[in-house]
């Protein structure tokens, strides 16, 4: 169950950079998006807190940030037209390999 909380925590990590990106534009602050970012930060932290009760802190943190980074990478490409180069996919693939490896070697 802790791994489910950890994955959910990582998925909430996707929300706060999106909220911040939409929250500050040339037109000014958009408080709804900033509130969304704050909610995602708090929800992500709460789920990480629960996951760390049984998953070692270093493993949980690495997986949490990895899921967040990979998700933000994909969302950046899909929503914000960020570059989708082979090199970027290669290095994000290394992050995924690290996440999978940590899961495989965890008790």
Question: Per residue in 46-101, pLDDT tens?
Answer: 999 999 999 999 999 999 999 999 999 999 999 999 999 999 999 999 999 999 99
Which tokens is 103 given?
């899961």
- Is residue 13 over pLDDT 90? yes
pLDDT at 69: 96
| Length of the chain measured in residues | 107
Q: How confident is the model at residue 5 (pLDDT cuts 50, 70, 90)?
A: very high
21-39 pLDDT tens trace: 999 999 999 999 999 999 9
Contacting residues for 26 by C-beta, under 8 A, at least 6 apart? none
Whether residue 106 has pLDDT greater than 90: no
Instruction: Give me the domain span that covers residue 39.
Output: 2-105
Q: Give the pLDDT score at 107.
A: 73
> What is the pLDDT at residue 9?
98
Task: Return phi, psi of residue 29, to 5°.
Answer: -80, 140
Residue 28's region, left for phi above 0, alpha for psi from -120 to 50, else beta, is left
pTM for the whole structure: 0.89
Domain count, the chain: 1
Whether 43 contacts 12, CB under 8 Å: yes
């Amino acid at each position: 169950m802790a791994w489910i909380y950890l994955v959910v925590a990582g998925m909430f990590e996707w929300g706060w950079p999106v909220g911040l990106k939409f929250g500050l534009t040339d037109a000014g602050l958009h408080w709804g998006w900033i509130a969304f970012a704050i909610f995602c930060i708090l929800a992500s932290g709460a789920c990480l807190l629960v996951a760390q009760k049984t998953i070692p802190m270093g493993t949980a943190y690495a997986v949490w940030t990895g899921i967040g980074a990979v998700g933000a990478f994909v969302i950046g490409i899909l929503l914000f037209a960020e570059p989708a180069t082979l090199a970027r996919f290669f290095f994000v693939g290394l992050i995924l390999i690290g996440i999978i490896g940590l899961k495989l070697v965890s008790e």
